Amino acid sequence: MALPTTDEILDDLTFFDDWEERYKYIIDLGKDLPEMDESLRTPERLVKGCQSNVWIEVGREDDRLQFLVDSDAVIVRGLLAVVMAAYNDKTPSEITGFDVDGYFQSLDLERHLSPTRGNGLKSIVARIQSIAQASQTAAG
């Protein structure tokens, strides 16, 4: 199943009255992420700065980056789905140009995450942006 777009996620979240329902929705998004093969869960793919284990694998098709992500925590898989809506199958310049802070503010997300989860989310975004920047440099 294809992940929703950032706009669809923003629209969907407005239907929920409280954050408990929004968390359930985010967790459900994580269930739709493709499975990552165990062999890809290596230390090189592990994101540092996350409370839970998070792995990121990147591939490239034409000039678009495709990410395969996974976590051992269900809420983090959901957060990864929210991040993938913004970044997956985008060009490096689309990734580096995307206003992720504005997106998270629109979701009202960081206010509802523990400080360690919020820092982990920033680490995930930083890793993806550095992959995109390295891709731009390599291509340029």
Residue 60 belongs to a domain with what CATH number?
3.90.1010.10
In the prediction, which pLDDT does 45 show? Answer: 96
Asked if the structure places residue 47 within a domain, the reply is: yes
In sequence order, what E strands does 13-124 have?
Answer: 54-61, 64-71
pLDDT in tens, the chain (140 residues): 578 999 999 999 989 989 999 999 999 999 999 999 999 999 999 999 888 999 999 999 999 999 999 999 999 999 999 999 999 999 999 999 999 999 999 998 888 888 889 999 999 999 999 999 998 877 65
Number of domains in the chain: 1
In the prediction, which pLDDT does 140 show? Answer: 59
In the prediction, which pLDDT does 1 show? Answer: 57
Range of the domain at 44: 6-139
The single-letter DSSP state of residue 1 is -
Tell the residue number behind the tokens 């239907």, with chain if given: 15
In the prediction, which pLDDT does 46 show? Answer: 96
Asked if the structure places residue 130 within a domain, the reply is: yes
Asked if the structure places residue 109 within a domain, the reply is: yes
Determine if the pTM surpasses 0.85.
yes
Distance CA 66, CA 30 (A): 17
Asked if the structure places residue 1 within a domain, the reply is: no
Catalytic annotation, pick one of 33, 50, 56, 69: 50
Active site residue 38: no
